[in-house]
Amino acid sequence: MTLNVYLNFRTQSRDAIAFYEEIFGTKCTDLMTYGEIESQEEPIEDSLKDLVMNASLVLDGVKVMFSDVPKSMPLTFGDNITLVIDTTDEIKLTKQFHQLAEGGNIIMPLGKTFWSEKYGQVTDKFGIGWQFNLS
């Protein structure tokens, strides 16, 4: 199991990435925009196309991921950091997801996405945001 950090912004992901690249002497090599995932079945609004859907930097051995959250989704600064469980153990992932959801709130139920066979988001009873990704 790997524990990662996820930083969410409205439109500042690229600026934050450049800032951290310079400070920590690292380089983002996996930036993906919302426009890159557009399909005929799911068109993307023009205002979102250049925003960062997902990117990451490795800071001193820790993966820090970035995303620009569309205005249609909630985002509260101060709550824009989530912990990410990235594992190959599907049973453990499912169990931990549901345990954290007890007394908390499921943001996105566990399900298949285009990047993972099983992914979900939950906020625990202490207000901490968690993402679970089956790798």
Residue pLDDT, tens place only, 58-116? 987 889 999 999 988 888 887 778 889 898 999 999 999 999 999 999 999 999 999 99
Q: Could you tell me what percent of the chain has a pLDDT over 70?
A: 99
Checking if the pLDDT of 40 tops 70, the result is no
Q: Contact 111/121 with Cβ under 8 angstroms?
A: no
Tell me the three state secondary structure of residue 129: strand
Residue whose structure tokens are 């101060």: 78
Answer with the residue of higher pLDDT: 128 or 121: 121
Token reading at 119: 């992914």
Q: What angle do CA 74, 83, 49 make, to 5 degrees?
A: 45
